């Protein structure tokens, strides 16, 4: 095996390249007996600044990065290379958003169509709303379809505005399939929480569970990237928005806070798992599977509740 270590004097540092990751190794040589050196201490260092130990790593490629080399992303942080635009950079506008973020576009369209249908037919709303007695009788689809119904213009306007702001960047970062699974899983988790804590005859509608699921995912991602100045600022903004929205049930009556908390917890849990997963060519498939597993757990709750 080739010897890639170089002996140095007492207190000096050598660097070793291993699988693309540089680590600093400190050798403290015993002046009496150099055959019994102290154990080698290792710690990751920034791949661009080998003299800077760091606990951060790029969520795209896994290279260790220092705060100066960290670029905040919608999910975690990236190194300088991974944060560069691939190919020709282009501006995403409302005109081409339908092709770049198809899931967000479809959700927006379905929600608006459903809201218009509610105004023309009470039967339509009655067939899709989450009415807990019906869910207990086996109509589990109501836990999901209720996320496309809304009570009034303010209700749908607020939820769809947040989806319009948060959704596109998340879908482009995560991929369309994982984003769709995240949205559906958190909607179901919100419905399951309302089923458990909303009363035996409770009724609820709205996308708030899924919207809070997006907030939960962003909270988990920004929590991991809070070690940089920009990351800390983003984390504080997310926490402020969450605190404001979680206080709404104390001010506005008839808000299904149970669905909010259920979606929030599911979104944060899914993102925490995603951030722990290794990168690879099938990471999108793996992310989708994790979100679908959470959706399955929500349905199990619906069956057993």
Residue 40 in tokens: 């080698």
Active site includes 49?
Answer: no
Catalytic residue among 57, 70, 71, 208: 208
- Label each residue of the chain as H, E or C: CCCCCCCCCCCCEEEEEECCEEEEEECCCCCCCCCCCCCCEEEEECCCCCCCECCEECCCCCCEECHHHCEECCCCEECCCCCCCCCCCCCCCCCCHHHHCHHHHHHHHHHHHHHHHHHHCHHHHHHHCEEHHHHHCCCCCHHHHHHHCCCCHHHHHHHHHHHHHHHHHHHHHHCHHHHHHHHHHHHHHHHHHHHHHCCCCCEECCCHHHHHHHHHHHHHHHHHCCCCHHHHHHHHHHHHHHHHHHHHHHHCCCCCHHHHHHHHHHHHHHHHHHHHCCCCCCHHHHHHHHHHHHHHHHHHHHHHC
Active site includes 260?
Answer: yes
Nearest to 68 by CA among 203, 228, 284: 228
The residues assigned a catalytic role are: 208, 260
């Amino acid at each position: 095996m080739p010897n890639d270590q170089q002996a140095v004097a007492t207190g000096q540092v050598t660097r070793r390249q291993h699988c693309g990751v540089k680590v600093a190794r400190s050798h403290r040589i015993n002046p009496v007996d150099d055959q019994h050196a102290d154990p080698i201490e290792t710690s990751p260092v920034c791949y661009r600044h080998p003299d800077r130990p760091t606990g951060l790593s790029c969520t795209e490629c896994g290279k260790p990065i220092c705060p100066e080399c960290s670029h905040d992303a919608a999910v975690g942080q990236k190194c300088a290379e991974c944060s560069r635009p691939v190919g020709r950079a282009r501006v995403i506008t409302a005109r081409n958003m339908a092709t770049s973020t198809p899931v967000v576009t479809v959700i927006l369209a379905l929600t608006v169509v459903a809201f218009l249908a509610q105004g023309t037919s009470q039967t339509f709303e009655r067939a899709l709303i989450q009415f807990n007695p019906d869910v207990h009788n086996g109509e589990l689809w109501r836990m999901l379809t209720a996320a496309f119904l809304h009570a009034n213009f303010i209700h749908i306007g607020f939820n769809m505005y947040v989806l319009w702001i948060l959704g596109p960047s998340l879908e482009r970062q995560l991929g369309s399939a994982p984003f769709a699974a995240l949205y559906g899983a958190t909607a179901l988790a919100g419905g399951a929480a309302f089923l458990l804590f909303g009363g035996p005859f409770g009724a609820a509608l709205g996308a708030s569970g899924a919207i809070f699921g997006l907030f939960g995912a962003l909270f988990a991602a920004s929590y991991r990237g809070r070690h940089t100045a920009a990351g800390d600022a983003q984390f504080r903004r997310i926490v402020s928005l969450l605190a404001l929205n979680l206080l709404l049930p104390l001010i506005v009556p008839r808000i299904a806070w149970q669905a909010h908390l259920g979606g929030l917890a599911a979104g944060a849990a899914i993102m925490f798992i995603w951030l722990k997963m290794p990168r690879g060519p099938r990471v999108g498939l793996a992310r989708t599977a994790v979100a679908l597993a959470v959706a399955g757990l929500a349905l199990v709750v619906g069956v057993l509740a």
